[in-house]
Amino acid sequence: MVCAKPYTNKGSLKDKIEKELEEMKNKDYLRDSKSRWKNPVKPILKKDGRIRLCLNLMTLKEITNNEEEKISEIEEIFNKLHDAGYVTVLDMKERFFQIKIRERDKKNSISKSEVRNTNSIECRWDLKNFSFIFQQIMNHELRGWTDKNAQFYLDDVVIYAKTVEEHDKIFLKILDKFKKVKLKINLEKIQLKKKEINFMGQIVNGKTIRMLESRKMKIFDFNIPTNKKNCKGSWG
C-alpha cells in the first residue's frame, strides 16, 4: 500500500487545486475516495495562470510490473513521409483520460492533496506504463494502415498519401474507426491535408525536413553548463 504525505501549498494555489479537482470530477475523470492509498499531488503553473495537477507516483511505480510495446522512432515517421503529397496530423485529445482503469485498480491512483482525496476513473499520464498501453491501443486500432498510410507517435496520428483522393479515403476511414471505438481528437490542433506540416519541431514535406527557426535560436542561445547540476539539466 502507498500512503504518502501531501505537499503543502500556499496562498491561492489551494483554491486553484480545489477548482481543478472539481472540474475534473465534473468531467468524470475523478471521484472522491476514502481509500487509504494516497499519492501526493503537485500543481504545476501553466502560462495562462491555470494549473496542471501531477501525481508523484514514484512509490507506486516501484511496485508496478513493466509493460512493453514498440514505440515508433521519429526517424521512421520522417522516412515514411518521403514523397507524401498530402499529410494530416491528428492530436489525440487528453489521451491519458481516454483509458478506463479497472475497478479493482482504481485505489492505486488515489491522489492526496490538502483539499481532498480523489481517485482516477480514467488513466493518468503519470501512471507507469501508460505510454506503452496507449501505444498498444493505437497500434491495434490503426492496424492495416500502419507502415502504409498512418503512424502514431506519442499523441499524434500522422496520415499521409501521395494523392488527395487516397488521403481523403484513408482519413475518413480512420475518423470512422475512432468514432466507433470512442477515441477523441483535439479539433483545435488538427493539421488537415497539408503539403507541409509542423511536426516535433520540424517543418516536413514530401521532399525535405528542416528545423523551426525558433528551435535553431534555442540551440544558438544555449548556455554552456558550468557545473554538474547544469550538465544534468542539459541532458533532460
Q: Domain ranges for the chain, please list them.
A: 13-216
pLDDT at res. 65: 58
Would you identify the CATH topology of the domain 13-216? Alpha-Beta Plaits (3.30.70)
Which stretch of DSSP H or E encloses residue 60? helix 58-62
pLDDT of residue 135: 85
Amino acid at 117: N
Dist. CA 170–CA 145, nearest whole Å: 8
Q: For 133-170, what is each residue's pLDDT tens digit?
A: 788 889 899 998 987 899 999 889 999 999 999 999 99
Contacts of 3 (CB under 8 A, 6+ apart): 36, 37, 38
> What pLDDT sits at residue 232?
66
| Cα 123 from Cα 132, distance rounded (Å) | 12
The predicted pLDDT at position 112 comes to 43
Predicted local confidence at residue 115, as pLDDT: 45
Please tell me the predicted confidence (pLDDT) of residue 141: 92
pLDDT for residue 167? 97
Residue ranges for the chain with pLDDT beneath 70: 1-6, 33-37, 57-69, 96, 100-129, 232-236
Q: What is the pLDDT of residue 90?
A: 97
> 167 exposed, middle or buried (CB, 10 Å; 0-12, 13-18, 19+)?
buried
Burial pattern 122-154, b for ≥16 Cβ within 10 A else e, equals: bbbebbbbbbebbbebbeebbeebbeebbbbbe
Which of 196, 97, 212 lies closest to 155 in space, CA to CA?
A: 97
Using only C-alpha atoms, the chain has a radius of gyration, in whole angstroms, of 21
Confidence (pLDDT) at 62: 64
